[in-house]
Amino acid sequence: MTDGILTLDAGALSAAVRSGEVTAVEAVEAYLAQVAVQEPEVDAFLSLDADAAIAAAEAVDRARASGAALGPLAGVPVAFKDNLCTTAFPTTAASKILEGWVPPYNATVVDRVLAAGAIAIGKTNLDEFAMGSSTENSGYKITRNPHDLDRVPGGSSGGSAAVIASRMALLALGSDTGGSIRQPASLSGIVGLKPTYGRVSRYGLLAYASSLDQIGPMAATVKDAALMAEVIFGHDPMDATSLRAPIPALVNALMEGVTSFRVGLVSDLLEVASPAVASAVGRAAATLAQLGAKVETISIPELALGLPAYYVVAPAEASSNLARYDGVRYGFRGNGETAEEMMVASRSEGFGDEVKRRIMLGTYALSAGYYDAFYLRAQRVRSLVRTAFQEAYSRFDLLLSPTSPTTAFKIGERSEDPVEMYRSDVCTIPSNLSGDPAISVPFGDEDGLPIGVQLMGPALSEERLLRAAFALESARAEEGER
Amino acid sequence: MTQWEAVIGLEVHTELKTATKLFCGCPNAFGFEPNTSVCPVCLGLPGSLPVLNAKAVELAIRVGSALSSRVQASQFHRKNYFYPDMPKDYQISQYDVPVNAGGAVVLRSGKVVGIVRAHLEEDTGKLVHKGGDGRIGGADYSLIDYNRSGVPLLEIVSEPDISSAEEAKEYVSELRAILVATGASDGRMEEGSLRVDANVSVRPVGSTELRTRVEIKNVNSLRSLGRAIGYEVERQISEYESGGSILQQTRHFDEASGKTLPLRAKEEANDYRYFPEPDLPPIAPLQAEIDRIVGELPLLPAGRRVRLFGLMPGASSDQVEVAVTEEVWPYVVAGIEIGVAPELVLARAANELAALVGNAGFLTPERFAEVVALEERFSPSQVKLLLKEAVSFDGTVDELVAKVGLSSSGAEDVRAMVGEVVEANPEEWRRFVAGDAKVAGFLLGQVMRKFGKAISGAQAKAALEELARGAAGL
Ligand SMILES: [Zn+2]
């Protein structure tokens, strides 16, 4: 059995560990062997702790031996994006300003995943403070796309995406502020779910843009993403924006199909996509129709306004969220004669260019005399997007679009042009602005580079999204078999 | 020559008396070892999030209702600026939609001072500057205690309706009494649970203009507030009269010299970049909830005054001011409620009791009422003695009387005691009945010498006169 460990999905591996067919130590050792081979090429982890992973796996095996009931992720190797607080690993958000900082507490999601029996392998690379779409903005290193090492894995959760794509862990957590789970999932050929805002506690997530940030699962399959979603969903008293909605049985609902679903194919987002991506999305629409969904084209021109609104709201919140990194209490401290000089030095030397760019943008947008023209206007655009979505969801159960306009681009290709980079998120940003859930699922490729399609739905419609994504995934698998 | 008047608005920050801080579960307590009442939230650690303390909102609404404010749905904003005592480098505060808008404080003089707003915000940590000159610019190093970080504050902003240092003091003491009566604050200025900033300007009498104002920061006693404003008003007047002008400035009050001095050499325009706090949903108290809080409000100092002057139109206002204080008022209420003459209650409460509260031991309001009621039978000096003894005496009021060595004497007993003395002094008694008032003193002296522990002089005198009337009528 141990030879086939890497072929098992999370549900199957966890079941095998619970039944004793595979020990957690065997599972973790198989994944650590994979890490030893892949990590030197992919460079996805910011911290790794093989000994701790083995020790945690031994604890799971001992618990089983003592007759304790094991959780739904027993023995499953996981990786956490490095903007999630962990007491067992440093937490840096890929920023030099937090080099070596070890939080005194775990993020709520981390606690939930570990309590379910998962084994933490390490922390994954990201664009510094989750600001970017390629993971090239990391203060530490560049992560490579396992499908083509000259290309980016997407971002900002590029490390988590690359870890799953190269099978160095079975499940990973990412965070998504403007597409940071879905876009790297698309570019790396995995599944990424951005849940409804408030579905997953943000407590312990290093904030980028608080009103947009949402943590979600990244996995090789829709079923694994659903399994992890069940573990991390649910109200948390430590997050005042956390929802009290009941958690649906997501895994069990996957097989229920898409018949009777009304699916809107968003023409405005198709137009921004490359021909290969647009054609993949078209095939996905056709597949859903074949499976019994009613597919129609819809134009939502307001979605185009999302990008500029996002690049005001997110930097504005970031300029405030990142103020605390001042060298006084933790992290990197620069030199200065006075407290003020020390703070200026710490921030000037500790932050990377993209972070500074967004702090400046956001500071400007909130400044006296500019607030109305920028921040307030962006908020009005945000409500336009929300209203447009509401209108669309009154007619459709789901919306279908590309996740990213293109497949993975070359390392360095867009890093000199921030605005071009910002455009990578044009399809994903609207769901963050509205707070609604969305998922990216692989559907085809272009010359070996994965293409993801995005399904969007109204608040709390994750079950529907996962069912439709599962239907697309299953259809692709059957196609492959033919 | 121009006559000048002062235009003063006050910002009072009060720490709310909650068990825990505004956004986390850390104890809200004074006097802990530095940095022991802290957690990821109030230290502003990366990833931490605020969760609003409902009790703080309730206390804010109580104060707002007591100030006749409009209690409204409100929102938190972030006030962004860098300072080492502020762990997130922004303060969670309220901005354009505070929990309480408008309102007024009515001073004892009857003057009405308008309230602009009373809003919730979090306190900062505390900097302790060590070495050098002990100020932030010149210290060798500084220590930061974050125990105070995240403590709930209510900032109460007045209209610039105050026109003298004396009135400012009156306003703060009235506001303080309201805060204490509503249970929102312990009102201790010396522990920093009440902090006052004053905005001061002057203008020619009769003018309605608002000239450049100076903000005096963090004055820590009523006396200093009066001195600081007094100095600042004089300074501004003489500046204008000598042809100068006033800079918009923040100044601090130097206790030693009695002067206000500029806080910073260069005044920077602050842009706090307020925006709605995305981590906290708006507060939308239900009307039923507001009604419940208003219904539970105690009688406030102004209402207490009205009640006492209603019962005793000629009462001494000094005594009334003592009686309406938070510590004394429950005793006054207990005395009046069991039917003791209000004048008597007021006198004992404002004098003997006021000296004992704070360390009253077994002298509860109920016991106070019982003892003061005894003044129909005992002399004032005996009742005062009983009050003093009651502090350390754990027993019934009869046992207290016995312990002090007084026995309870009814009118019958008193007549019998006086009768005994009369019989023993027939000659003096005859002269007294015949109308020689001078011998009354001798007879009463005899009574008191013999029975003074058991009866009061007033009782003895009344019995003596009654017996005399009886004898004359024979
Ligand atoms: Zn705390």
B245-301 pLDDT, tens digit each = 999 999 999 999 999 999 876 666 789 999 999 999 999 999 999 999 999 999 999
With an 8 Å Cβ cutoff, is B139 touching chain A? no
What pLDDT is attached to residue B399? 85
Average of per-residue pLDDT values in chain B: 91
Q: What's the mean pLDDT in B29-57?
A: 96
What pLDDT is attached to residue A256? 96
Interacting residues of B347 by C-beta distance below 8 A, sequence separation 6+: B319
Interacting residues of B66 by C-beta distance below 8 A, sequence separation 6+: B178, B181, B182, B297, B300
A156 among known catalytic residues: yes
Q: Across the interface, do A329 and B87 touch by the CB < 8 Å criterion? A: yes
With an 8 Å Cβ cutoff, the interface of chain A facing chain B consists of 84-85, 91, 93, 98, 101, 103-105, 107, 202-207, 209-211, 237-241, 316-317, 319-320, 323-326, 328-330, 338-340, 343, 363, 366-368, 371, 375
Beta bridge partner(s), residue A41: none
Percent of chain A with pLDDT over 90: 95
Phi, psi (rounded to 5 degrees) for A200:
-115, 130
With an 8 Å Cβ cutoff, is B275 touching chain A? yes
- A53 versus B396: the higher-pLDDT residue is A53
What does the block give as tokens for A306? 């999302």
What pLDDT is attached to residue A481? 61
Residue A312 has pLDDT above 80, yes or no: yes
Q: What is the distance between the alpha carbons of residues B460 and B448, in angstroms, rounded to a whole number?
A: 8
Neighbours of B242 (CB within 10 A): 7
Phi, psi (rounded to 5 degrees) for B126:
-125, 130
Percent of chain B with pLDDT over 90: 69
Q: Across the interface, do A85 and B84 touch by the CB < 8 Å criterion? A: no
With an 8 Å Cβ cutoff, is B144 touching chain A? yes
Beta bridge partner(s), residue B249: B214
Residue-wise pLDDT for A272-303, tens only, equals: 999 999 999 999 999 999 999 999 999 999 99
What pLDDT is attached to residue B410? 65
- Would you give the DSSP letter of residue A205? B
Residue-wise pLDDT for B173-195, tens only, equals: 999 999 999 999 999 888 888 99
What does the block give as tokens for A172? 């990973």
What does the block give as tokens for A425? 């998120």
A207 Cα: distance to centroid of ligand 1 (angstroms): 18
For residue A238, what is the nearest residue in chain B, using CA coordinates?
B51
Residue-wise pLDDT for A355-368, tens only, equals: 999 999 999 999 99
Residue B409 has pLDDT above 80, yes or no: no
Q: Considering only A209-218, A411-420, B400-409, which range has the smallest mean pLDDT?
A: B400-409
Percent of chain A with pLDDT over 70: 99
Q: How far is B87 from chain A (nearest CA, A)?
A: 6
Distances (CA, A) of B331 to A433, B134, B346, B386: 60, 46, 9, 15
3 state SS of B25:
coil
Count of CB pairs separated by less than 8 Å, A with B = 100
User: Rounded to 5 degrees, what angle do the CA atoms A85, A248, A204 make?
Assistant: 10
For residue B43, what is the nearest residue in chain A, using CA coordinates?
A329
Residue-wise pLDDT for B325-366, tens only, equals: 999 999 999 999 999 999 999 999 999 999 998 889 999 999
With an 8 Å Cβ cutoff, is B279 touching chain A? yes
Give me the catalytic one of A81, A123, A194, A223. A81
Q: Across the interface, do B47 and A328 touch by the CB < 8 Å criterion? A: no
A133 among known catalytic residues: no
> Number of C-alpha atoms within 13 angstroms, CB side, residue B311?
19
For residue A104, what is the nearest residue in chain B, using CA coordinates?
B40
What pLDDT is attached to residue B267? 63
B33 Cα: distance to centroid of ligand 1 (angstroms): 15
Residues in chain B within 8 Å Cβ distance of A239: 49, 51
Average of per-residue pLDDT values in chain A: 96
In this complex, the residue of A84, A85, A324 whose CB is nearest that of residue B88 is: A324
Top residue of B136, B149, B273 to mutate, by most chain A CBs within 10 Å, is B273
Q: How far is A204 from chain B (nearest CA, A)?
A: 4
B40 Cα: distance to centroid of ligand 1 (angstroms): 6
A344 Cα: distance to centroid of ligand 1 (angstroms): 27
What pLDDT is attached to residue B136? 65
Residue-wise pLDDT for B131-144, tens only, equals: 877 666 677 888 99
Top residue of A102, A208, A321 to mutate, by most chain B CBs within 10 Å, is A321
To which residue do tokens 């204008």 refer? B240
Give me the catalytic one of A47, A95, A133, A156. A156
B86 Cα: distance to centroid of ligand 1 (angstroms): 13
Q: What share of chain A is helix, strand, coil (3-state, %, to 5)?
A: 45, 15, 40
H helices of A207-352, where? 222-232, 250-253, 267-271, 275-290, 306-321, 339-350
Q: Considering only A422-436, B52-66, B367-381, which range has the smallest mean pLDDT?
A: B367-381
For chain B, give every domain's residue range.
4-288, 299-404, 411-473
Neighbours of B271 (CB within 10 A): 14
Residue-wise pLDDT for B199-225, tens only, equals: 999 999 999 999 999 999 988 899 999
A415 among known catalytic residues: no
With an 8 Å Cβ cutoff, is B143 touching chain A? no
Query: pLDDT band at B408, cuts 50/70/90?
Result: low
Q: Using an 8 Å Cβ cutoff, are A49 and A102 in contact?
A: no
Q: Using an 8 Å Cβ cutoff, are A365 and A374 in contact?
A: yes
Residues 38-77 of B with CB under 8 A from A: 40, 43-52
Q: What's the mean pLDDT in B99-125?
A: 96
Top residue of B80, B279, B280 to mutate, by most chain A CBs within 10 Å, is B279
Residue A1 has pLDDT above 60, yes or no: no
Q: Residue B32 corresponds to which amino acid?
A: F
Residue A13 has pLDDT above 80, yes or no: yes
CA A69 to centroid of chain Cα atoms: 30
What pLDDT is attached to residue B367? 94
Cis peptide bond prior to B316, omega within 30° of 0: no
Residue-wise pLDDT for A370-397, tens only, equals: 999 999 999 999 999 999 999 999 999 9
Residue B474 has pLDDT above 60, yes or no: no
Query: pLDDT band at A123, cuts 50/70/90?
Result: very high
For residue B143, what is the nearest residue in chain A, using CA coordinates?
A328
What does the block give as tokens for A262? 């009304």
Sorted by where each starts, the structural domains of chain A and their CATH numbers stand as: 2-253 (3.90.1300.10)
In this complex, the residue of B40, B82, B280 whose CB is nearest that of residue A104 is: B40
Residue B440 has pLDDT above 90, yes or no: no
Residue-wise pLDDT for A194-253, tens only, equals: 999 999 999 999 999 999 999 999 999 999 999 999 999 999 999 999 999 999 999 999
Q: Using an 8 Å Cβ cutoff, are A271 and A405 in contact?
A: no
To which residue do tokens 């769901």 refer? A431
Residue-wise pLDDT for B299-311, tens only, equals: 999 999 999 999 9
Residues in chain A within 8 Å Cβ distance of B56: none
Residues in chain B within 8 Å Cβ distance of A207: 46-47, 279
Could you tell me the strand order of the sheet in which A45-48 lies? A45-48, A119-124, A77-81, A171-176, A214-219, A191-194, A438-446, A449-456, A398-402, A262-266, A294-298
CA torsion angle A238 A240 A244 A248 (round to 10): -70
Top residue of B38, B89, B268 to mutate, by most chain A CBs within 10 Å, is B89
What pLDDT is attached to residue B401? 84
Q: Could you tell me if the ipTM is greater than 0.85? A: yes
Neighbours of B141 (CB within 10 A): 9
A82-114 burial: b if 16+ Cβ within 10 Å, else e: bbbbbebbebbbbbbbbeebebebbbbbbbbbb
Q: What is the distance between the alpha carbons of residues B331 and B363, in angstroms, rounded to a whole number?
A: 10
Query: pLDDT band at B196, cuts 50/70/90?
Result: very high
Q: Using an 8 Å Cβ cutoff, are B388 and B403 in contact?
A: no
DSSP structure string for A6-29: GGS-HHHHHHHHHHTSS-HHHHHH
Q: Across the interface, do A324 and B89 touch by the CB < 8 Å criterion? A: yes
Query: pLDDT band at A422, cuts 50/70/90?
Result: confident
What pLDDT is attached to residue B191? 84
B290 Cα: distance to centroid of ligand 1 (angstroms): 28
Q: What is the distance between the alpha carbons of residues B136 and A45, in angstroms, rounded to a whole number?
A: 43
> Please, is A438 exposed, middle or buried when counting C-beta atoms within 10 Å of its C-beta (0-12, 13-18, 19+)?
buried
Residue-wise pLDDT for A130-180, tens only, equals: 999 999 999 999 999 999 999 999 999 999 999 999 999 999 999 999 999
DSSP structure string for B149-190: TT-EEEEEEE-S-B-SHHHHHHHHHHHHHHHHHTTS----TT
Q: How far is B190 from chain A (nearest CA, A)?
A: 28
Q: What is the distance between the alpha carbons of residues A312 and A321, in angstroms, rounded to a whole number?
A: 14
B369 Cα: distance to centroid of ligand 1 (angstroms): 44
